[in-house]
Amino acid sequence: MKGLYVHIPFCESICHYCDFVKRVPSHQESIDRYLDALVKEIALYKKHFDSIDTIYIGGGTPSMLSVKQLTKVFEALKDIKPIEYSIEVNPESYSEEKGMLMKTYGINRVSLGVQTFNQELLHYLNRKHTNKQVYEVVDHLKACEIERISVDLIFAIPGQTIKDLDQDLKHIKSLDITHVSSYSLILEEKTYFYHQYLKGNFEQMDEDLEALMYEKVIKDLDDFGFKQYEISNFCKHNHESLHNKIYWTLDPYIGVGLGAHGFIDGYRTYNERSMQAYIDHYQKEKVYQTSDMLIQDALIFGLRNTKGIEIEKIEKAFNIDLFKRYPKLEEKMNYGLLEINHGYLKLTKKGTLLGNQVFMVFI
Ligand code: SF4
């Protein structure tokens, strides 16, 4: 499998928790200038087009591009025939015309930035859509026969209650979608919330309540027919995100656009994060991945998957004895955070809640 990630770094406003590479464009011309550079960068990878299985257009907010601008991006990618073709959409910037355009260019999966259905909490996060818009977008995507719809959900928002989360999950059920990505709110540096935190105006949710919320997300989604296949990802009908699986299994992928990164020919590539530097020469650096780096990634990403890691396979691939190299794994097993099942090392239910304690073993 090989993937292509395309970054659209523009948003209509900035969410208070967001540390992605994004900006509010000063005018349409700045978007056009960026897209000119992006299209040229995409063309640099033409020789890989035949082997690309997944495209993921993320951001930022790709759906805030105009129909003309979206067409320009889709045209640059039209010679690729991926199995999975995803785009991120924010409900407030979707239109029926954009949905039909996506369908025309072969997009078969949409990731919808919802985060919560509670209007007060949405306002607190500085997000602008309404629940009505979410339902309308999902209905229209289905009418366009884009059936693979994922919704992003955030929990552990300060002030959020279990009852609020319960309402969010009920909405997820009634939307009748195929995939959910659910993350707890993380306080990241260089965000509005972080500045509030430094001023004493932001208090993170109590860890016990956060754990209760995560357990509720897992249980309710399971009740609604979603299988958890990764710490933060759940799907129906085996509609796992193929593109994300490429990241987790260390398969190669190309990253294009501002601040995008890739993994190709044994190198991690990092694009420039400043707009002018990106337009001038795209890439900032590429770093060869030593076997130590790859083992670490393979183990952490592997354990995030509910299936776990196949011990024999990983030992052969990296020529290691897993438990000799990481003796602390025994300790984590004794604490009930890890278990071995049919040759796979995997997180237990308790380990899923405390994943970071396990991942520290590899760092
Ligand atoms: S819409 Fe997405 S990328 Fe833009 S600020 Fe909000 S979270 Fe960040």
Question: Which tens digits make up the pLDDT trace of 313-346?
Answer: 999 999 999 999 999 999 999 999 999 999 999 9
Q: Is residue 252 part of a domain?
A: no
Q: Ligand 1 in contact with 191 (CB < 6 A)? A: no
If one counts the domains in the chain, the total is 2
Q: Whose CA is nearest to atom 5 of ligand 1?
A: 14
- Looking at the fold, whether 201 and 296 belong to one and the same domain comes out as no
User: For the chain, which ranges sit under pLDDT 70?
Assistant: none
Segments forming the whole domain that contains residue 350: 291-363
Are residue 88 and residue 14 in the same domain, yes or no?
Answer: yes
User: Residues 332-359, buried b or exposed e (16+ Cβ, 10 A)?
Assistant: bbeeebbbeeeebbbbbeebbbbbeebb
Identify whether residues 236 and 328 lie together within a single domain: no
Amino acid 1: pLDDT: 78
In a domain, 261, yes or no: no
Distance between CA atoms of 289 and 267, rounded to whole angstroms? 6
Say yes or no: 185 and 327 in one domain: no
CA of 270 to the centre of ligand 1 (A): 20
Would you tell me how many other CB atoms lie within 10 Å of the CB of residue 42?
20
Together in a domain, 42 and 173: yes
Of 215, 247, 279, the position where a domain reaches its end is 247
Q: 186 in a domain, yes or no? A: yes
Distance between CA atoms of residues 124 and 118, nearest Å = 10
Is 297 in the same domain as 229? no
State the residue for tokens 């954009």.
98
* 231 & 357 share domain: no
- Cα distances from 266 to residues 26, 43, 55, 250, in angstroms, run 38, 21, 20, 10
Residues 78 and 225 in one domain: yes
Residue 328: other Cβ atoms inside 10 A:
12
Are 203 and 345 members of one domain?
no
Task: Kindly state whether residues 218 and 316 are assigned to the same domain.
Answer: no
Residues 25 and 159 grouped into a single domain? yes
295 and 170 within one domain: no
Answer yes or no: is 277 within a domain: no
Say how many Å lie between the CA of residue 77 and the centre of ligand 1: 24
Q: In angstroms, rounded to a whole number, what is the distance separating the alpha carbons of residues 269 and 284?
A: 8
Strand partners, 37: none
Question: Which of 189, 217, 247 is the last residue in one of the domains?
Answer: 247
Residue 258 lies in a domain: no
Q: For residue 342, what are the CA distances in angstroms to 307, 309, 339, 345, 349?
A: 10, 11, 10, 9, 17
- Ligand 1 pocket, residue 332 CB under 6 Å: no
Torsion of CA 63, 69, 72, 74, to 10 degrees: 10
